[in-house]
């Protein structure tokens, strides 16, 4: 009897399963969403690269059966920038977390967005530092607790999707562990999008964030996502009153701002017609 | 104002009535064709204020030396300012290997500002040569010198104050007879921004003329 | 050989890198290395290569490692403060065995220090800057010509041993202009990364072939699907906590340098044949020392110069060979005594230190005086 589905066999390294995530963690669902998006897009696995940083989210790379690189904390987008620029034929997808991309890697996030380089960043946003045991993160809501916020978090939380949008990302979307269909679609479209795309996916961390903040079980946390997240089309139809306490799931914004590598290629093409000007000798 | 009210008459007792230029001892300069500096090194020091282009002048002389079959080492020191602040270009020319890359006792000093003249004039080796802008007053040092209206020539003759460094280059080469004119012109072409070759070659000529007029 | 060109050390190192096949540069402006980024920005697109100015040095080294993973010879350039920021990922490249070259045009520190002034205060940092025991190679040029030729060697060693190589320049050479010749392209010996056509899918990408020292990782996109990580990993490239695997990996990483010092280490000796005193120095300091040694020799002193070109690993066998005839050892460096520790370790006796950390160059006179004092 086969232990796993065809999808799992095709896109994950089954000999490295089971994964290290806790029971109830949303990261497994989100990793599957990524695999489904790859499958739907028929991405050639040999031409696909998943880059991750450090943290719970970033262990996803090791399980996916493509080219994977588990880098240093916060730097996944910078590594990915080098990979994509060096070989634009590769599909380069970054899996990162809220601490990885919005705290230690915040500078790389805003600059990758500003350049609008053709990368797809998928954030497994669980509102905490899970790997180190539940410290407050840049997306921990004000007032919530973490092991380093025993009296409640006094910082305000980033909305990573809005942060990316305001920094110049030409595609941003919201996913959740609950809204699987919308999340898969958002990832798919993000990969297809030419430019910097970011899908900010709310994960759930019942072990640390949930337990510290009395959010109930993993199921309770998913139910919260169901009751507060509204697919984009339906959300748009809601009145301002009905939108109170709700958030849209799906594409948040998309535009066709020029992409970095295409623009750089134009510089190269322009240089080649100039035939290695003598400029380099006596400039 | 070109001249200080002190006039230009000074220790060497040579002055011209226009009070613009005074030149002393150029006939003693044999040029570097036989590298007559100490230890086979001929050290040129180009001092001014950031933005005046003295470092470019030092590069041009290093390039000319290479073109002329010599060895050259060029370096610079400067502060954080892109404009203003003191700025020093150093060029060492030799027939042999140049090891230590910094000026020790310059054989020649170009000074375009009072600060740079005050700072470096005392380091010029006895019997060395100083070229200063004619607005500056030379301290009492035992060297040959010339004071020429370099900055004014750039403004009035070349009509571009940014060319003072190339005016200076023309004057230096006429005074020291370091390289054939063509060599220096080629060195300039190699290092000035594209499109500015003509104005810089005019500046070079203006520098030569300053020496020709002063010597006349 | 081409005609002699007047080039700055920083410019020559870019031309050397291009000749070595470097086609990717990521960097962040910092004095006194900025001319390297500027020239790469101009030159790389002319060669079909890529230049990118990143948001900081953390990102620069990360992008360089990324480009190398994609199969392109890649480099970055920086100075002290930026070199400090790059250290974590230099360790990553050491462990994950990703070839890359990091140019550090040293300036006077610590901290922001004297940005436009020379120093050699990063000698120890080049070896031990990143955490953990790790392999590293560092090479230091003394002339503008060497900024070109040794840069090629940096890439060759990096590709061959799959190790980050530090090109440890200093402001003295970086901002110096001298006549430089470009050797004809066909005369250059370039080492191209060995990739393996037989590598099994996903299984043993970090397996090392018999008689080799580094794995034959193919660039991403060539057909395999494998994993790279900064965690201790097995031959399949996957993280493990197995202590035996950890020991085997770390030993191999260190051994690939330690057991190949004959191939890697390079030193230059000048007038050492009958020398009783040796001046040991590297990089731009060689310029002061050579002037002093020549002058002292002219006056009859039996003095020579020993110059590590590969400053890490320190060419200790080469130095050791001279020790029996030496009565005096003088170490000159633009710091407070860093290579001194290596020299004394190898010599097992004290050496006289001539150091300087005020942003000016050690004058030849100072070294000359020390030689003459020892020459009794």
Q: Is some CB atom of chain C closer than 8 A to the CB atom of B98?
A: yes
Distance from CA of C25 to the nearest CA of A (A): 9
The arithmetic mean of pLDDT across residues A138-152, rounded, is 98
The arithmetic mean of pLDDT across residues A121-144, rounded, is 98
Residue A282: the pLDDT is 42
Distance from CA of A21 to the nearest CA of C (A): 15
Task: Report which DSSP code applies to B126.
Answer: T
Is the predicted pLDDT of residue A275 greater than 70, yes or no?
no
Is the predicted pLDDT of residue B81 greater than 80, yes or no?
no
Residue C200: the pLDDT is 54
CA distances from B137 to B9, B87, B111, B166, C8 (A): 10, 19, 11, 22, 35
Asked whether residue C129 falls in the same domain as residue C272, the answer is: no
**Between A81 and C203, residue with greater pLDDT:** A81
Residue B215: the pLDDT is 80
Q: Is some CB atom of chain A closer than 8 A to the CB atom of B66?
A: no
Is the predicted pLDDT of residue B32 greater than 90, yes or no?
no
The set of chains that have 3 or more CB pairs under 8 A with B is A, C
Give the model's confidence band at B77: pLDDT under 50 very low, under 70 low, under 90 confident, else very high.
confident
**Between A107 and B7, residue with greater pLDDT:** A107
Pairwise CB contact (< 8 Å): A75 & C5: no
A279 contact residues in B (CB cutoff 8 A): 194
> CA-CA distance, C294 to C298, in Å (whole number)?
6
Question: What is the CATH superfamily name and number for domain A6-280?
Answer: Thiamin diphosphate (ThDP)-binding fold, Pyr/PP domains (3.40.50.970)
Pairwise CB contact (< 8 Å): B99 & C179: no
**Between A25 and A277, residue with greater pLDDT:** A25
Pairwise CB contact (< 8 Å): B100 & C179: no
Closest residue in A to C238 (Cα–Cα): A62
Do residues B56 and B10 touch, judged by C-beta distance below 8 A? no
Q: Is some CB atom of chain A closer than 8 A to the CB atom of B71?
A: no
Interface of C with B in 174-213 (CB under 8 A): 175-179
Asked whether residue C163 falls in the same domain as residue C304, the answer is: no
- Residue ranges in chain C modelled with pLDDT below 70: 1-2, 196-203
> CA-CA distance, C228 to B79, in Å (whole number)?
44
Residue B72: the pLDDT is 96
Q: Is some CB atom of chain C closer than 8 A to the CB atom of A21?
A: no
Residue where a domain terminates, one of C187, C210, C225 = C187
Asked whether residue C178 falls in the same domain as residue C294, the answer is: no
User: Which class in CATH covers the domain with range B22-149+175-185?
Assistant: alpha beta
Task: Report which DSSP code applies to B36.
Answer: -
The arithmetic mean of pLDDT across residues A91-105, rounded, is 98
Candidates C26, C60, C225; nearest CB to A66: C225
Q: Is some CB atom of chain C closer than 8 A to the CB atom of A142?
A: no
Asked whether residue C183 falls in the same domain as residue C272, the answer is: no
- Chosen for mutation from B64, B75, B85, B103 (greatest number of chain C CBs closer than 10 Å) is B75
Residue where a domain terminates, one of C187, C217, C247 = C187
A77 is written with which tokens? Answer: 């987008």
> CA-CA distance, C64 to C62, in Å (whole number)?
5
Pairwise CB contact (< 8 Å): A68 & C227: yes
C303, part of any domain: yes
B119 is written with which tokens? Answer: 């700072």
Q: Is some CB atom of chain C closer than 8 A to the CB atom of B18?
A: no
Q: Angle C275-C276-C281 (CA atoms, 0-180°, nearest 5)?
A: 75
- Please state the pTM of the whole predicted model: 0.94
CA distances from C337 to C281, C306, C320, C365 (A): 11, 16, 20, 19
The 10s digit of each residue's pLDDT in A194-222 is: 999 999 999 999 999 999 999 999 999 99
C337, part of any domain: yes
Give the model's confidence band at B34: pLDDT under 50 very low, under 70 low, under 90 confident, else very high.
very low
Candidates C5, C6, C287; nearest CB to B99: C287
C249, part of any domain: no
Count of the separate structural domains present in chain C = 2
Q: Is some CB atom of chain C closer than 8 A to the CB atom of B79?
A: yes
Asked whether residue C10 falls in the same domain as residue C116, the answer is: yes
The arithmetic mean of pLDDT across residues A226-231, rounded, is 98
Pairwise CB contact (< 8 Å): C88 & A111: no
In this structure, the number of other CB atoms found within 10 A of the CB of residue B157 comes to: 18
What domain range is C135 assigned to? 5-187
Residue A198: the pLDDT is 98
Pairwise CB contact (< 8 Å): C221 & A47: yes
Closest residue in B to A283 (Cα–Cα): B191
> CA-CA distance, C209 to A188, in Å (whole number)?
40
Per-domain residue ranges of chain B: 22-149+175-185
Q: Is some CB atom of chain A closer than 8 A to the CB atom of C292?
A: no
Which residue, among B78, B92, B181, B43, has the nearest Cα to C179 in the 3D structure?
B92
Q: Is some CB atom of chain A closer than 8 A to the CB atom of C231?
A: yes
> CA-CA distance, A245 to A228, in Å (whole number)?
7
Do residues A73 and A150 touch, judged by C-beta distance below 8 A? no
Pairwise CB contact (< 8 Å): B99 & C291: yes
CATH assignment of the domain containing C359: 3.40.50.920
Question: For the CA atoms of chain B, what is the radius of gyration?
Answer: 16
CATH assignment of the domain containing C58: 3.40.50.970
Q: Is some CB atom of chain C closer than 8 A to the CB atom of B81?
A: no
A282 contact residues in B (CB cutoff 8 A): 189-191
Is the predicted pLDDT of residue B6 greater than 90, yes or no?
no
A281 contact residues in B (CB cutoff 8 A): 190
Per-domain residue ranges of chain A: 6-280
> CA-CA distance, C69 to A174, in Å (whole number)?
30
Do residues A63 and A88 touch, judged by C-beta distance below 8 A? no
Give the model's confidence band at B142: pLDDT under 50 very low, under 70 low, under 90 confident, else very high.
confident
Closest residue in A to C71 (Cα–Cα): A86
B98 contact residues in C (CB cutoff 8 A): 178
Question: For the CA atoms of chain C, what is the radius of gyration?
Answer: 21
Which residue pairs, CB below 8 angstroms and at least 24 apart, start in B54-58?
Answer: B54/B87, B54/B88, B54/B89, B54/B110, B54/B112, B54/B165, B54/B168, B55/B87, B55/B88, B55/B89, B56/B89, B56/B165, B56/B191, B56/B192, B57/B89, B57/B110, B57/B165, B57/B166, B57/B168, B57/B169, B57/B172, B58/B89, B58/B90, B58/B91
Do residues B98 and B41 touch, judged by C-beta distance below 8 A? yes
Closest residue in B to C362 (Cα–Cα): B100
Residue B18: the pLDDT is 33
Candidates B66, B74, B80; nearest CB to C115: B80
Distance from CA of A267 to the nearest CA of C (A): 7
Match 């320190």 to its residue by tokens: C314
Do residues B107 and B91 touch, judged by C-beta distance below 8 A? no
Pairwise CB contact (< 8 Å): C72 & A86: yes
Asked whether residue C182 falls in the same domain as residue C278, the answer is: no
Residue B24: the pLDDT is 52
Name the strands in the sheet holding C267-270, side by side, starting at the edge strand that comes first in the sequence: C267-270, C303-308, C277-280, C328-333, C352-355
Is the predicted pLDDT of residue B13 greater than 60, yes or no?
no
Residue B9: the pLDDT is 32
Q: Is some CB atom of chain C closer than 8 A to the CB atom of A16?
A: yes
b/e code A109-147 from CB counts within 10 Å (16+ = b)? bbbbbbbbbbbbbbbbbbbbbbbeebbbbbbbeeebbbe
Interface of B with A in 167-196 (CB under 8 A): 189-191, 194
């Amino acid at each position: 009897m086969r232990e796993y589905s065809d999808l799992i066999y095709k896109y994950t390294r089954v000999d490295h399963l089971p994964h290290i995530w806790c029971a109830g963690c949303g990261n497994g669902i989100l990793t599957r969403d990524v695999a489904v998006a790859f499958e739907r897009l028929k991405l050639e696995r040999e031409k696909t690269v998943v880059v991750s940083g450090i943290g719970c989210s970033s262990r996803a790379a090791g399980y996916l059966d493509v080219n994977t690189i588990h880098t240093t904390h916060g730097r996944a987008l910078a590594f990915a920038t080098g990979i994509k620029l060096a070989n634009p034929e590769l599909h380069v997808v970054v899996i990162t977390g809220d601490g990885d991309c919005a705290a230690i890697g915040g500078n790389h996030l805003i600059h990758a967005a500003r350049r609008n380089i053709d990368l797809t960043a998928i954030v497994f946003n669980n509102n905490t530092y899970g790997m180190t045991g539940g410290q407050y993160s840049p997306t921990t809501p004000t007032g919530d607790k973490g092991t380093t916020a025993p009296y409640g978090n006094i910082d305000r939380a980033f909305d990573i999707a809005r942060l990316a949008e305001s920094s110049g990302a030409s595609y941003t979307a919201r996913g959740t562990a609950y809204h699987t269909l919308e999340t898969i679609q958002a990832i798919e479209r993000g990969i297809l999008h030419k430019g910097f795309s970011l899908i900010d996916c709310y994960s759930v961390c019942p072990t640390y964030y949930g337990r510290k903040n009395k959010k109930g079980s993993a199921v309770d946390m998913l139910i919260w996502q169901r009751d507060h997240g509204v697919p984009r089309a339906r959300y748009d139809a809601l009145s301002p009153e009905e939108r109170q306490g709700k958030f849209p799931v799906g594409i948040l914004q998309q535009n066709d701002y020029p992409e970095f590598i295409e623009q750089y290629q134009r510089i190269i093409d322009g240089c080649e017609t100039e035939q290695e000007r003598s400029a380099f000798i006596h400039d | 104002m070109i001249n200080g009210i002190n006039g230009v008459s000074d220790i060497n007792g040579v002055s011209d009535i226009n009070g613009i230029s005074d030149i002393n001892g150029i006939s003693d300069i044999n040029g570097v064709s036989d590298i007559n500096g100490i230890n086979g090194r001929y050290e040129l020091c180009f001092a001014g204020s950031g933005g005046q282009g003295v470092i470019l002048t030092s590069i041009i002389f290093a390039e000319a030396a290479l073109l002329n079959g010599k060895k050259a080492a060029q370096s610079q020191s400067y502060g954080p300012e892109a404009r203003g602040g003191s700025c020093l270009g150093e060029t060492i020319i030799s027939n042999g290997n140049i090891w230590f890359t910094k000026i020790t006792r310059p054989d020649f000093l170009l000074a375009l500002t009072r600060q740079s003249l005050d700072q470096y004039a005392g380091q010029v080796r006895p019997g060395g040569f100083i070229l200063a802008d004619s607005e500056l007053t030379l301290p009492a040092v035992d060297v040959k010198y010339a004071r020429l209206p370099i900055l004014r020539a750039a403004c009035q003759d070349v009509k571009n104050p940014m060319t003072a460094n190339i005016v200076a280059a023309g004057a230096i080469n006429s005074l020291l007879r370091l390289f054939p004119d063509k060599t220096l012109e080629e060195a300039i072409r190699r290092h000035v921004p594209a499109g500015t070759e003509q104005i810089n070659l005019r500046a070079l000529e203006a520098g030569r003329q300053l020496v020709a007029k002063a010597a006349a | 050989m081409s005609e002699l060109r007047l080039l700055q050390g920083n410019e020559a190192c870019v031309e050397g890198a291009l000749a070595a096949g470097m086609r990717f540069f990521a960097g962040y402006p910092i004095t006194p290395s900025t001319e390297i980024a500027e020239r790469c920005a101009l030159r790389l697109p002319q060669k079909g290569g890529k230049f990118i100015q990143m948001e900081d040095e953390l990102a620069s080294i990360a992008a360089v490692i990324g480009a190398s993973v994609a199969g392109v010879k890649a480099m970055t350039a920086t100075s002290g403060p930026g070199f400090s920021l790059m250290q974590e990922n230099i360790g990553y490249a050491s462990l994950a065995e990703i070839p890359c070259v990091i140019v550090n045009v040293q300036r006077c520190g610590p901290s922001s220090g004297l940005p436009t002034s020379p120093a050699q205060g990063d000698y120890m940092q080049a070896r031990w800057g990143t955490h953990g025991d790790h392999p590293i190679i560092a090479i230091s040029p003394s002339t503008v010509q060497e900024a070109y030729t040794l840069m090629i060697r940096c890439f060759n060693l990096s590709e061959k041993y799959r190790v980050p190589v530090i090109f440890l320049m200093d402001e003295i050479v970086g901002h110096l202009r001298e006549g430089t010749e470009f050797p004809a392209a066909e005369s250059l010996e370039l080492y191209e990364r060995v990739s393996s056509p037989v590598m099994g899918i996903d299984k043993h990408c970090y397996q090392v072939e018999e008689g080799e020292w580094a794995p034959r990782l193919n660039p991403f996109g060539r057909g395999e699907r494998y994993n790279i990580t900064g965690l201790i990993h097995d031959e399949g490239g996957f993280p493990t906590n197995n202590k035996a695997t950890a020991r085997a990996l770390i030993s191999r990483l260190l051994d690939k340098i330690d057991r190949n010092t004959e191939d890697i280490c390079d030193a230059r000796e000048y007038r050492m044949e009958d020398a009783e005193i040796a001046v040991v120095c590297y990089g731009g300091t060689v310029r002061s020392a050579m002037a002093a040694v020549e002058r002292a020799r002219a006056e009859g002193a039996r003095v020579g110069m020993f110059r590590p070109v590969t400053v890490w690993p320190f060419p200790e066998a080469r130095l050791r060979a001279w020790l029996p005839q030496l009565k005096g050892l003088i170490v000159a460096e633009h710091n407070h005594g860093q290579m001194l520790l290596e020299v004394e370790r190898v010599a097992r006796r004290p050496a006289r230190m001539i150091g300087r950390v005020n942003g000016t160059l050690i004058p030849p006179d100072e070294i000359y005086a020390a030689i003459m004092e020892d020459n009794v």
